[in-house]
Amino acid sequence: MEPKKPCCAAGRAAVSLTPQEASEHALHPSSGHPEVSESPVSTETAGTKIHLNWAELAGGTFRMGSDDPDGFPADGEGPSREVSVRPFRISSYAVTNAQFRQFVEATGYVTEAERFGWSYVFHLLVSESTKAAVKQAPHETPWWYAVQGADWAHPEGPDSDIEARLNHPVIHVSWNDAVAFCDFTGTRLPTEAEWEFAARGGLAGRRYPWGDELKPGGEHRCNIWQGRFPVKNSAQDGYIGTAPVDTYEPNGYGLYNMSGNVWEWCADYWSPGYHHETSADNPFYSRQTDRRSMRGGSYLCHRSYCNRYRLAARSSNTPDTSTGNAGFRVAADRLNP
């Protein structure tokens, strides 16, 4: 089994910690189915319409988690077990830059990255001029630069913008920011169980949303890393950074990019004991911890380093941390279950 290695950025607090402290925080350290129908719905709040595409899922019982030897037992990926989720809806795509901009324009919301004044950007995406203003990166994850002025509208810092990426997933949003978007749109974050049920797309016990083979027929099905992490990304899947939210084939429930592209915040508090400590009926980890769960992996994942684009893989970060590889999608209870 691959040794457990850090992959996500450390929690926001790690930047001001000593290397030893940062190491302690370093996360993975801190920082077709007949029941499916698609229903485009516009959420109107205070005169602002945000168009969301939904997959209506009937819920049911499925095998959640994995005992895969390639997995990370310390992350609490297993033991796998039968879990039931109630009927719910989940957005077909991650929330986009365009949607998040609508939310900000309607509310004046200021993200935590903007309030703190910086966010984590992967080193290969940072311009030379921006690197001059970089804070010390967390000890365990030196490829993350704490870039002054990086935020959802300036993903690589002040000299960048989102104009050519309006249909890419919004990034540099903390868990708290994601919940603010949900509150405005009358939605909520999916629970981990809902997320995994949705991501499996009706296929039982598979490694990826489309099956067990990473590249069936040699075809790339998700946006992850190719090459030698963290220095050389050959981008054979077409993308070094984020990809548009509708890239690649959707899964059996019509959901796009459940593996790779960006990590997606979930509603649960984080615990490696998740599968031992939550019920099998609509599980939700409600006992307060200092982190929130994320699922799905990102464009930085590679088998050799952070093999967490598998369906059962888990990650977390502190709820105020934002990075250039984490976003979210929204869920809601079904109107007519």
The stretch near Ca ion (CB under 5 A) out of 35-43, 53-61, 111-119, 215-223 is 215-223
Shortest distance, position 94 Cβ to Ca ion, whole Å: 15
CB of 10 to Ca ion, least distance (A): 23
Q: Which residues lie closer than 8 Å to 70 by C-beta, 6 or more apart? A: 1, 2, 303, 307, 310
The rounded Cα 90 to chain-centroid distance in angstroms is: 14
CB of 188 to Ca ion, least distance (A): 29
Strand 292-295 with 314-317, pairing: antiparallel
Three-state DSSP class for residue 279: coil
Distance CA 261, CA 324 (A): 11
User: Measured from the CB atom, is 51 or 228 closer to Ca ion?
Assistant: 228
Question: Smallest distance, Å, CB 228 to Ca ion?
Answer: 14
Q: Which residues, 285 to 304, sit near Ca ion by CB under 5 A?
A: 299
237 binds Ca ion (CB under 5 A): yes
The stretch among 7-15, 48-56, 204-212, 234-242 that binds Ca ion (CB under 5 A) is 234-242
Among 66, 96, 99, 223, binds Ca ion (CB under 5 A): 223
The crossing angle, in degrees rounded to 10, of helices 97-107 and 175-185 is 70
Please give the Cα distance from 168 to 190 (Å, whole number): 20
Question: In the set 122, 197, 239, 253, which binds Ca ion (CB under 5 A)?
Answer: 239
**Closest among 238, 314, 243 to 275, alpha carbons compared:** 314
Written as six digits, the tokens of 70 are: 């390639």
Binding segment toward Ca ion, per CB under 5 A, in 109-117, 159-167, 170-178, 237-245: 237-245
CB of 4 to Ca ion, least distance (A): 23
Contact residues for Ca ion, defined by CB under 5 A: 223, 237, 239, 299
